[in-house]
Chain A
Amino acid sequence: MTGTQETEYDAIVIGSGITGGWAAKELTEKGLRTLMIERGREVVHGKDYPTEHKNTWEMPLRDARLAPDKRGAEEYQKQARTGQFRESTKHFFAKDTKHPYEETKPFTWIQGDQVGGKSLIWGRQVYRWSDLDFEANVRDGIAVDWPIRYKDIAPWYSYVERHIGVSGERLGLPQLPDGEFLPPMQMNAGEKHVKAGIERRFKERRMTIGRVAILTANHNGRAACHYCGPCVRGCSTGSYFSTQSSTLPPAMATGRLTVLPDSIVDSLVYDPKSHRVSSVRVVDTKTRATREYKAKVVFLCASTLGSTRILLNSKSSSFPSGIANSSGVVGHNLMDHHFRVGASGRIEGLADHYYQGNRPNGIYIPRFRNLGDAATKRNDFVRGYGYQGAAARAGWGRGTSGPGIGVQLKRRLHDAGDWTMSMTAFGEALPRHENVVTLSDTKDEFGIPILRIDCGWGPNEMAMRKDMRQSAIDMLEAAGCTNIVGNDDYKEGGLGAEPGLGIHEMGTARMGRDPKTSAVNGFCQAHDVPNLFVTDGSVMASASCVNPSITYMALTARAADYAVDQLKKRNI
């Protein structure tokens, strides 16, 4: 897999994460000899999941979270801001010393640095967007209209779901279209209790089990989930979607894919005569040697900010501010989902109920604000939010919250504790021109300028957060919970719920109909450069409030189909 002498291919895919894997699968299956370039190290499915199924006592720190102030986090000061960064997962995060960035305001950029990218550690929650999302900008008069609608992408959602396997419950809600689902995972007793309370009180609100790219039945040669719990350590049975489990195998099976790890892209070289990307300039991260690879078509799938950095750094006399950036929008309109606001409360009366197995999923409460009718319209903010959460019984950890030692404490902690329901909202953030990334004067160790990120939440997000907190409290009250505590971790100018932490960064090379105000068209094709496609989160013109990854996958598959068609028609 490592290295290649060949420098000419039909297609080049930059990045090997969620979208890079999809681009490689689609392009190779359609007959293109494809080079996939990945800046990070190789990770072989199964073999390179060193902490999978490890017991806590097999880890010296017992799988501690490696917070920024702890030993072990020295080289990962930004990555350590997420609770995902722990003893068992550290090896799937980029070192901030190796891949640094600057932030003018707190912005947490979580980065992968391996084959598979963040597909190994993603949240696996998948929700289709609806026309409520695709029409949002034009309805509100914000940013640019999406050049596509739900009908354009719906068949591609189905195509992706059938391949990756998505478990979930059909609800028939217009704002959260159903997909091609494997059987849903079960709710526990606490969640069923809260669901009943919420749905009794609020007719427009529903609670469902999370829709996840985790198999609840054997599927396409991959095994059903065995409920060990922490997917993010890697899954050798391939039970959740990752590049390694789902897109790399069929791509490799074609015999047309070459994977080039440890190779960071410096820039795309533009040929003004043909108006095409003529080659991709790459630095070997081990030897620092530079090399150029050529292809008829280039798919940029290096993650939103990774791809944006490459675009901005691909300067030429034709594109002094970066390739495919005649509009000047590249780098602007950075979005994320704002979250870490919600509530938790105690559920009474379920002492005789428990659960077994480690369900890698929680509940979901679909958006119920601003659905286009008078009843759900808010005057204090536009767009909406949904909740993720779970109920659980307290374990031994509750022994640390008050006095008590000795035999009595040990006996008390032998039993499961109270049930708690906890929910956190994920809200849509608006695209705003002033939320921008630019190239810094500082370069990384490979000689490539690093990004300077200047991004903050705006008044709409702040107004929405108040409602996100209060509605969570209202729903827990409706469910009869006690000891209800609302929370909002946002702190102005500080860490807690800063942008980026949602790890749904998007929007910095948006799609649109007009080349003057957008970077790519509805097929993710750069307006300015016909053989360049950008298919990760950077093309999003708005953020919706649902997790974005399956939309990236569907857009990528659709773009690959279009690109190959254009190649055949000799338009590229």
Chain B
Amino acid sequence: MSNEHDITRREAVARTALFLGGTLAASSVAGVRGDAWVRAAAPAWRAGTLTAGQSELVATIAEHIIPATDTPGARAAGVHRFVDVILSDYYKGDERRRFLDGLAALDARAEKELGAPFLKATAKQQLALLTSMDAESYPPQRVLEKAEPMNAERVRMRDSLARPGGSGPAVSEPTRPSVDGAEGEAARREAERGWFFRRMKELTLLGYYTSEQGAMAELKVNPMGVYRGDIPYRSIGHSWA
């Protein structure tokens, strides 16, 4: 037993030497990519939930939300594959169905307003439709918070504050208070209208900025090595992923 432990400590010391060497991005230390990533990126990847048509629909919408510029966009980052993983391995039936229904409704709306399924419309038409949906999907914040307190920005904000250990295992995170009464019902209905688009946008941003492309090409992962509490913003010049 004590031998086993010695070996572990030697390994730890070796790793430490690596860390002490300077400021290394997490990716360069971790080195090997995880199996899941390899699976998701492999040409032979197959969706678990989305049909080929749905997958293409998601990829197209996502690319409009975060397009390729001088850095990769949502499609290159595999956001549609991430969305499929979330639908297959994270959401339960109701939430998955609600998302897929939203996808179908979007296509139906394209048919009605553009005279063609979404994927058959021109890129310009697609963008116009998504821009309308975006504008319709964000009622005043107080309405959203009442109906949907798990707003991803708030979760992530509180997460990013709490996870580094500020409050330890006693991490604070918004929970979903139940919405009572008529006021809650009205808020729920108002918020309901934009649910799919908001969720689609959240999943796009989440999938993109936590992908290697989003987190290392568009932004940078906040590197390990040292902590510098107060540095000029211009010395970094971008948000940490």
Contact = CB atoms under 8 A, between A and B. Distances in A.
Interface of A: 1, 44-47, 53-65, 69-72, 82-84, 110, 118, 121-125, 185-189, 191-192, 210, 212, 214, 221, 223, 225-232, 236-238, 248-249, 252-253, 255, 259, 337, 339-340, 342, 351-363, 388-390, 392-407, 409-411, 413-417, 420, 422, 424, 426, 487, 489, 491, 494-496, 501-504, 547
B209 to A, nearest CB: 5
Contacts of A223: 12-13, 16, 19-20
A399 B219 CA distance: 14
B157 interface: yes
B165 A83 contact: no
A64 B239 CA distance: 21
A252 B1 contact: yes
B186 interface: no
Contact of B205 (A185, A192, A400): A400
Contacts of A83: 158-159, 162-163, 171-173
Given A122-B168, A393-B239, A236 B163 contact: no
Contact of A417 (B66, B172, B235, B239): B239
A361 to B, nearest CB: 5
B86 interface: yes
Q: Which of A53, A185, A354 has the most CB of B within 10 A?
A: A354
Given A361-B165, A389-B166, A403 B34 contact: no
A420 B215 CA distance: 22
A410 B217 CA distance: 13
Given A352-B233, A353-B233, 14 more contacts: A45-B9, A54-B30, A230-B163, A249-B5, A354-B235, A355-B231, A356-B231, A358-B224, A359-B164, A390-B162, A395-B209, A397-B205, A405-B130, A501-B170
Contacts, number: 337
B89 A422 contact: no
A1 B26 contact: no
Interface of B: 1-2, 4-5, 8-9, 11-13, 15-16, 19-20, 23, 26-27, 29-30, 33-34, 36-37, 40, 64-67, 69, 73, 82, 85-86, 89-92, 95, 127, 130-131, 134-135, 137-138, 141, 151-175, 177-178, 198, 201-202, 205-207, 209-212, 215, 218-219, 221-236, 238-241
A502 B201 contact: no
B27 A55 contact: yes
Nearest to A226: B19
Contacts of A248: 5
Contacts of A65: 155, 159, 173
A18 B13 CA distance: 23
A53 B158 CA distance: 21
A1 B1 contact: yes
14 contacts: A1-B4, A57-B215, A64-B86, A122-B168, A123-B165, A225-B227, A355-B229, A390-B166, A399-B153, A405-B130, A411-B69, A413-B209, A420-B157, A489-B177
Nearest to A249: B5
B156 A395 contact: yes
Contacts of B240: 395, 416
B37 A397 contact: no
A466 to B, nearest CB: 18
A226 B23 CA distance: 9
**Interface of B, helix, strand, loop or mixed by DSSP:** helix
Contact of A422 (B23, B127, B158, B234): B158
A231 B1 contact: no
Contact of B168 (A72, A125, A186, A238): A125
Contacts of B127: 406
A233 to B, nearest CB: 11
B71 to A, nearest CB: 8
B175 A58 contact: no
A209 B173 CA distance: 21
Nearest to A223: B16
B225 A401 contact: no
A189 B82 contact: no
Contacts of B85: 60-61
A332 B133 CA distance: 56
Contacts of B92: 69-71
A61 B165 contact: no
Q: Which of A47, A57, A83, A84 has the most CB of B within 10 A?
A: A57
B62 to A, nearest CB: 10
Contact of A53 (B30, B205, B225): B30
Given A58-B34, A228-B26, A398-B153, A415 B167 contact: no
B224 A237 contact: no
B89 A356 contact: no
B231 A397 contact: no
Closest 8 CB pairs of A and B: A123-B168, A362-B166, A186-B229, A58-B34, A357-B227, A397-B156, A83-B173, A56-B210
A495 B175 contact: yes
B239 A390 contact: no
Contacts of A249: 5, 9
A410 B67 contact: yes
Nearest to A123: B168
B228 A426 contact: no
Contacts of A363: 166
A255 B13 CA distance: 22
A424 B20 CA distance: 34
A353 B151 CA distance: 27
A161 B67 CA distance: 52
Contact of A64 (B16, B64, B90, B169): B90
B170 A426 contact: yes
A306 B83 CA distance: 41
A85 B201 CA distance: 25
A394 B177 CA distance: 24
B29 A53 contact: yes
A370 B70 CA distance: 59
